[in-house]
Structure formats: structure tokens, C-alpha cells
């Protein structure tokens, strides 16, 4: 799996199969080999890069078996891209048993040229007891382990465990450690059909946080546009679904926010392939076979339109906002989104230090977003350790013009920790330009109980306009710019990093036009540049050396000798050359690149969090900004 874009657990990526690359996230349309309604090759027009069909049905049908054995599954269904096959697990679950064993079915899938073949796993129902589900997890893992070499075929090892997070966690770890290269999350169709989305996001989170991120994570049987974005937000890469044809046979049309009966539709939307092709009267008079095919094509269009939107949202890092909006389309979705917010602390290490897009603040639930959680946790730690806290009342400053000279006048005349209210919660004034404090879009509506300042051991003072005359009569006793750069570094890296990087000899340069901090230097050499779009630092090699000199094994990766020489010239770091790394690295944050002796040779930004760096074998791990060699070789 190679990651191209990401937002938290969600990612746009790609992985290689014998019949080409699959770009994720995407949906594999289910192809019934006995009754192909829409030409699979034509599905490529909508963006279908892979499909899934039933290996068990092919095997038990003499005619299909003969054709697939002679020419391969791709020729059988008429699709030249990657094809995944399943093994009859669902049929075995429904009918009690099937006539082929696990190894037998995997070998058959390999023999007909499947790109991804599935073991005969044990399907668990939501109402199974914990003991029953545990046995299914163990047996499914045993069946993966009994499979030998599958050649070029990627083996799919399903994650089972019913509705029990501990079993999903265990199954995910077992499958990740096996030779299965593809991880479907199984046993979820009954939950999807009954709108048990809260159970589903719990299952997905347990599976994603405990699985190998280099292996694609697939949600079996999920293809409704309404739930795709939320699933991707939680870490799903792949889907499969026969919903496009099942709903079509019931005269039901898929839309991004739900399903509608044909009989209740007044007109087709502009994006639908049916629009302007038929009038409603003409459409209703079509023969049943044609009408089903047209609705199926509409449904596939809805599915892949949603997939394209999700990919774009991840690239611009607005998927969380998108899911938050979509969650309002159904009460069950909204309850699932509330669960995601309540449990977002578990996903915090996977989220970038900042995003490309502004932070959207709607209500108190927005504080649950990982980037807000990180800020609030930091602010609380500062308040706990401070001796005196001044909170600036909104009548003086409420987050508008962060360069208001009154702020400097107040700050530089006290030794207290100065805070202001960001959406009614106190944050350090030093972070006024740092993501997400300044880079946000908020509601003008006041929160319930607005301005009830947090008081910690009676050491909090609220500063109002009436207090300004007295405050401004005092002498200036500190430098706001220098304290601000140190506070940002403490937030970006760790407490104490600010003083370590920007010591007593450092100087701050500000923009003449805006008054905002631009660079920090020492002895005429730039240590860091403050990025205007998110208010965090990009380190020079001099700054990187100072961070490294703290003596901690943090914020760094170690690379091979050959890679170190390459990276020192300013070239990116690839995953496969990393020999050790800090698991606490944040995606998007400055990261030191060290040679085998532990000496920094480059500095850049991590593309994935430290929890994932050791898992990938292809792609760029650190996008290098500076190396110890000034200019790359021509």
C-alpha cells in the first residue's frame, strides 16, 4: 500500500496487483457470473478499477468452471483489470456447509487467475456470543495459516469477531501478522442492513488501529453512498457491493444521502445518466430488463460520484467536515458520528499536526476533533503548571486581529500566563497564530454558558477593558515575539524544545506589512521559518541540529548509510531505507533524518505518523526540506 494523501486514518493510496494498480478508496462492484447486467469493462467509465465475483459459484457451475479454468476469470466476466474472488463463506453460513474445503477453494481461485483470493473464513453474526465469535476468530486464523504459497495471487484474510471490539482487535493483529496481504472486515452485512452504524464504526476503529496499515482494509458488503465517507474516515480503503443491482431490481435509486423509490421520484437529478435520456413517463414504460439496467447504471454513478468526492476531500483534508455534514442525513449516522467524536482520543496519534483546510467549529462537539483535542490538552497542561493565569475577556480580544497591539501591551507587562477564549475555551495567547486557533471558521452563535472562565486553584484573573489603564502603567518585562516562538516550538515538539532551539542568542524577524513572525535566527543564520498557512515551524539544518542536541531520541528516523548520503543532498526519504524511528512522530511535523551514527543529515516533514512508519515498504516517508549538503547534485 502506497499512501498519496491522508487525513487522519483516511487515505488516498494505491496498491499493486497482477492486473494493475488499484487506487483507493474505491468500491469493487459485485459481478454475478451467471447474470451480468452491466458490462464490467463499461464500469471503468465511472472509475471502477477492480471488481469482485464469486469463486464458489464459478466452481460449482460446470459451464462457468470449464470457461474459467480454460481462459481465466478475467475472460469469463469480461474485465481486464484486477479481479477479487470470494470463497463461498456466505453460502456456507447460509446453507450450513459447502462441498469444497478451504485449501481447495483458495487453490481454485489461484488457478483461474484471481488477483485477490479469499480464504473460507467463519462468518460471525452480531448476535453470536463472545465465545462463539472467539472460536470463529481462531478458526479463521488457522485457515489462513494452513494456506501455502499462492504465487502472484494476493491472499485475503478476513478480520472477524462479531460486535466485540476485543475480538476484532485480536483478529486484526493475527491477520496482520499472517501472510495475508489484504484484510477484509467480515460479518458486517447484518449490521449494515439494520442501520447499526455505531456498532460498525466501533468495529472499524478496532480493526484499523490494530491492523498493518501497509495492507488494504476492506469492508465486506458495504457500498451504499450514505456510509462510505464515514467508513473511509475511520480507515477503510476498499468496499464491495451488489447494492447497485439489488436496489435496481426493487426499483430503488441510490443517492448520496439515502435511497429513494422510483414511484416517489418526480424528476431525476442532473448528475444521473437517466436525466434527459427519458421523461419520467417514458422511463416507467420501459420493459423491466431495460429499466433495471438503467437504474443499476444510475446507482453505480451515485456510488462512484461519492468515491470521487471522498478522494477529493482527503486530498484537501476536509473529510471530517464532510462526514459531519453527511451524518445529519440520518439519525443512525449521526449517532455513529457522535461515537466517533467521543472516542477520537484513540485516533489522535494518527492525525496530522495541522490541515490544509481551516478548522470548522460548529458546537461543543467540534472540540472532540483530534486537532482540537491536542490543543485543549496542551492548554490545560499549561494552566495546571502556571502560577498565575490571566484570561483576556472577549470585549478586549476574541480571536480576531491577532496582531492587535493591545495584546502585546498586556502580555509584555506581566509574568502571568495569558490566555484568551477561543470558542469559549482558554488557549495560550502565544498560540494565537497557530493551527487551529487562527485558521478556523466558526459560528457567531454564542455557546451555552459562554464566558465561564476556567478557574484553577483560584489563580485565574479575568482582564477587562477597565483593567487596561492599570496594566499599561507598568514597565515591559518580557518579549512577546520571543516567548511566542518558544511556546509554538513547545507545542509543536515537546515542552522545553522552544528554549533548546531558540536560546538566548536568538532573534525574531517579523513582516513589516503584517507584523507576523517570519523567521528566527542566531548569529545571522536562520534556525526556522514560521509557516504562514498553519503557524508551525519549518526547521533549517541549524534548527534541526539544536532540536537534536536535546539528547532525546524523539522526532527522528535513522536511515541506512547509502540513504543518508542521498538524503543529505536534499532528496526524500523512502520507507524501505529506515532502520529505526520515533513512534511518536506526527504526520506533517518536522522530522530529523539521522545516519547510522545518530547525526542529523537532513530535516523534513513526515508523510505518516510514527505508529505507521515501520510498516510500509514503498513510498516516501519524509519529504526533505533541507540537507547538510547545500545543493543537490545535478
pLDDT, one tens digit per residue, over 363-372 is 889 999 999 9
Q: Is the pLDDT of residue 334 over 70?
A: yes
pLDDT tens figures, 443-478: 765 555 444 445 555 688 999 999 999 999 999 999
Backbone angles phi, psi at 315, to 5 degrees: -60, -40
Q: Is the pLDDT of residue 584 over 60?
A: yes
Average pLDDT of span 240-246: 95
Q: Is the pLDDT of residue 57 over 60?
A: yes
Q: What is the DSSP string of 461-489?
A: EEE-GGGHHHHHTSPP-S-HHHHHHHHHH
Burial 431-463 (b: 16+ CB within 10 A, else e): bbbbbbbbbbeeeeeeeeeeeeeeeeeeebeeb
Active-site residue numbers? Answer: 86
With a CB cutoff of 8 Å and minimum separation 6, the contacts of 517 are 433, 481, 484, 485, 508, 509, 510, 511, 530
pLDDT tens figures, 297-319: 999 999 999 999 999 999 999 99
Closest CA to 255 of 237, 270, 233: 270
Instruction: Please state, in angstroms and rounded to a whole number, the distance separating the CA atoms of residues 492 and 486.
Output: 10
Contact yes or no for 125/91 (Cβ under 8 A)? no
Average pLDDT of span 550-575: 94
Percent of the chain whose predicted confidence (pLDDT) is above 70: 95
Contact yes or no for 2/13 (Cβ under 8 A)? yes
Q: Is the pLDDT of residue 327 over 80?
A: yes
With a CB cutoff of 8 Å and minimum separation 6, the contacts of 285 are none
**First-to-final CA distance of the chain:** 31
Rg (CA), the chain: 28
Contact yes or no for 428/419 (Cβ under 8 A)? yes
pLDDT tens figures, 275-297: 999 999 999 999 999 999 999 99
Residue 248 has what pLDDT? 97
Percent of the chain whose predicted confidence (pLDDT) is above 90: 88
DSSP state for residue 43 in the 8-state scheme: G
| Helices first, then strands: H and E counts in the chain | 23, 29
Residue 100 has what pLDDT? 84
Which domains are delineated in the chain?
2-242 (3.20.20.105), 359-478 (no CATH), 494-627 (2.30.130.10)
Amino acid at each position: 500500500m502506497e499512501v498519496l494523501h491522508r487525513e487522519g486514518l483516511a487515505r488516498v493510496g494505491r496498491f499493486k496487483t497482477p492486473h494493475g494498480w488499484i487506487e483507493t478508496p474505491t468500491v469493487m462492484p459485485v459481478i454475478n457470473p451467471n447474470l451480468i447486467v452491466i458490462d464490467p469493462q463499461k464500469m471503468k467509465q465511472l472509475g471502477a478499477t477492480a471488481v469482485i465475483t464469486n469463486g464458489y459459484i464459478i466452481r460449482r457451475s460446470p459451464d462457468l468452471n470449464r470457461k474459467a479454468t480454460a481462459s481465466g476469470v478475467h475472460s469469463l466476466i469480461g474485465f481486464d483489470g484486477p479481479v477479487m474472488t470470494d470463497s463461498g463463506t456466505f453460502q456456507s453460513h447460509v446453507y450450513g456447509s459447502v462441498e469444497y474445503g478451504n485449501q481447495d477453494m483458495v487453490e481454485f481461485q489461484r488457478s483461474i487467475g484471481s488477483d485477490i483470493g479469499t480464504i473460507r473464513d467463519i462468518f460471525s453474526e452480531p448476535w453470536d456470543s463472545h465465545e462463539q465469535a472467539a472460536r470463529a476468530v481462531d478458526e479463521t486464523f488457522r485457515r489462513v495459516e494452513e494456506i501455502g504459497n499462492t504465487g502472484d495471487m494476493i491472499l485475503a484474510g478476513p478480520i472477524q469477531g462479531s460486535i466485540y471490539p476485543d475480538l476484532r482487535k485480536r483478529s486484526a493483529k493475527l491477520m496482520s501478522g499472517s501472510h495475508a496481504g489484504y484484510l477484509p472486515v467480515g460479518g458486517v452485512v447484518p449490521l449494515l442492513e439494520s442501520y447499526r452504524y455505531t456498532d460498525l464504526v466501533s468495529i472499524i476503529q478496532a480493526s484499523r488501529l490494530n491492523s498493518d496499515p501497509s495492507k488494504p482494509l476492506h469492508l465486506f458488503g458495504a457500498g451504499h453512498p450514505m456510509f462510505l465517507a464515514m467508513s473511509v474516515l475511520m480507515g477503510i480503503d476498499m468496499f464491495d457491493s451488489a447494492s447497485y443491482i439489488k436496489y435496481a431490481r426493487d426499483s430503488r435509486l441510490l443517492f448520496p444521502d439515502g435511497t429513494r423509490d422510483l414511484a416517489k421520484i418526480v424528476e431525476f437529478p442532473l448528475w444521473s445518466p437517466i436525466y434527459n435520456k427519458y421523461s419520467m413517463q417514458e422511463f416507467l414504460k420501459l420493459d423491466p430488463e431495460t429499466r433495471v439496467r438503467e437504474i443499476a447504471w444510475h446507482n453505480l454513478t451515485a456510488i462512484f460520484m461519492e468515491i470521487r468526492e471522498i478522494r477529493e476531500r482527503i486530498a484537501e483534508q476536509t473529510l471530517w467536515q464532510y462526514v459531519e455534514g453527511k451524518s445529519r442525513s440520518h439519525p443512525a449516522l449521526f449517532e455513529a458520528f457522535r461515537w466517533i467524536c467521543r472516542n477520537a482520543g484513540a485516533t489522535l496519534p494518527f492525525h496530522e499536526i495541522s490541515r490544509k483546510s481551516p478548522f470548522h467549529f460548529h458546537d461543543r462537539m467540534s472540540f472532540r476533533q483530534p486537532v482540537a483535542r491536542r490543543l485543549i490538552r496542551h492548554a490545560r497542561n499549561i494552566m495546571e503548571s502556571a502560577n498565575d493565569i490571566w484570561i483576556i475577556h472577549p470585549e478586549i480580544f476574541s480571536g480576531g486581529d491577532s496582531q492587535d497591539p493591545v495584546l502585546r501591551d498586556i502580555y509584555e507587562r506581566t509574568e502571568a500566563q495569558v490566555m484568551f477564549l477561543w470558542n469559549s475555551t482558554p488557549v495560550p495567547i502565544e498560540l494565537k497564530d497557530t493551527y487551529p486557533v487562527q485558521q478556523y471558521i466558526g459560528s457567531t452563535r454564542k455557546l451555552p454558558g459562554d464566558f465561564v472562565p476556567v478557574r484553577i486553584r483560584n489563580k485565574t484573573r479575568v482582564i477587562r477593558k477597565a483593567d487596561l489603564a492599570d496594566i499599561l502603567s507598568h514597565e515591559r518585562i518580557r518579549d512577546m515575539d520571543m516567548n511566542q516562538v518558544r511556546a509554538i516550538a513547545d507545542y509543536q515538539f515537546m515542552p522545553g524544545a522552544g528554549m533548546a532551539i531558540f536560546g538566548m542568542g536568538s532573534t525574531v524577524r517579523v513582516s513589516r506589512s503584517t507584523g507576523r513572525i517570519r523567521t528566527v535566527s542566531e548569529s545571522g543564520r536562520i534556525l526556522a521559518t514560521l509557516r504562514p498557512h498553519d503557524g508551525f515551524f519549518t526547521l533549517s539544518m541549524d534548527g534541526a541540529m539544536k532540536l537534536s542536541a536535546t539528547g532525546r531520541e524523539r522526532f527522528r528516523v535513522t536511515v541506512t548509510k547509502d540513504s543518508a548520503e542521498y538524503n543529505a543532498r536534499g532528496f526524500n526519504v523512502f520507507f524501505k531505507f529506515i532502520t529505526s524511528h520515533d513512534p511518536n512522530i506526527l504526520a506533517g511535523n518536522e522530522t530529523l533524518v539521522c545516519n547510522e551514527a545518530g547525526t542529523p543529515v537532513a530535516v523534513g516533514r513526515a508523510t505518516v505518523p510514527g505508529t505507521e512508519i515501520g510498516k510500509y515498504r514503498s513510498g516516501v516517508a519524509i519529504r526533505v526540506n533541507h540537507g547538510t549538503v547545500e545543493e543537490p547534485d545535478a
